[in-house]
Structure 1
Amino acid sequence: MKKTYRGSCHCRAVTFEADIDLSQGTGKCNCTVCWKQRMWNAGGLAPSDFRLLTGEDMLGDYRKYGDWGEGHHRFCRRCGIATHSHGQIKQMGNVPFVSVHLAALDDLPIEELIAAPVRCMDGLHDNWGNPPAEIRHL
């Protein structure tokens, strides 16, 4: 069941809320962007499930694209904290999605986080539908 969570960057210039069903799973990816951030996300959200409340003018956008699709990794330009991403990936249906960084959620109880299933994606090789051979580092 979806639940509305509130989140922010560290300096709170960027705030948002997102409707997330953690029972549908969370994700970790081995692409270089996700790996370097140690990102753990709630992905595959419909754009309507994400609402930016404040800080649109403070959001930086690191864009990555290729034959596989397009991704926008969003972060606060003041404090540097990544909050969410959005884009379209062909292997994931080529529909617009939003992905929320779970560490940016301010009101996520630890018990709910550790109860959520985790799936790993091989973004490093643009093989989004399959887990990488090694996941212990994610």
Structure 2
Amino acid sequence: MKFEAEGEIASALSCNCSMCQRKGTLMWFVPRPDMRLLTPDDNASTYLFNKHVIKHRFCPVCGISPYSEGTAPNGDPVAAINLRCIEGIDLDAIPVNHYDGRSI
């Protein structure tokens, strides 16, 4: 699964929900129109859990989860890109905000 996204990576979000914590996901949120798939959407599988409002996309071959799709509080479509899937960036240089997803 290949994609590209436009925008500045000013920070990342680390969620402690049961899924994100186990995967170690560092999320960067972008408006969904700013992320373009370079491989067909059919190449990705979808996992829904908890409230079934976020589409957790993953590769059915290797199992890696590069992004999720959902809706921002204002109703706009948003993509949560797993920064650990982007090569060539210094993750240690990106400020990380922590979100308590386990309590909601």
Q: TM-score, normalised by structure 2?
A: 0.87
Q: 2:97 aligns with which of 119, 125, 137?
A: 119
Flag the structure with larger Rg.
Answer: 1
Q: 2:47 aligns with which of 62, 69, 76?
A: 62
1:109 is matched by which residue type in structure 2? I
Q: TM-score, normalised by structure 1?
A: 0.68
1:99 is matched by which residue type in structure 2? A
Identity of aligned residues (%): 30
Aligned pairs (5 A) from 1:1-138:
14-23=1-10, 25-43=11-29, 45-64=30-49, 66=51, 70-88=53-71, 92-106=73-87, 108-110=88-90, 113-126=91-104
Q: CA deviation at 1:55?
A: 4.0
Structure with higher RCO (Cα < 8 A, 6+ apart)? 2
Distance 1:75 1:51, change over 3 A: same
Gaps of 5+ in 1: 1-13, 127-138
Instruction: For 2:76 and 2:97, locate their aligned partners in 1 and report how far apart those are by CA, in whole Å.
Output: 20
Instruction: For 1:119 and 1:17, locate their aligned partners in 2 and report how far apart those are by CA, in whole Å.
Output: 23
Paired residues, what number? 104
Do the aligned residues in 2 keep the contact of 1:82 with 1:101 (CA within 8 Å)? yes
RMSD: 1.8
2:89 is matched by which residue type in structure 1? P
Bigger proportion of residues as strand: 1
Q: CA deviation at 1:94?
A: 4.2
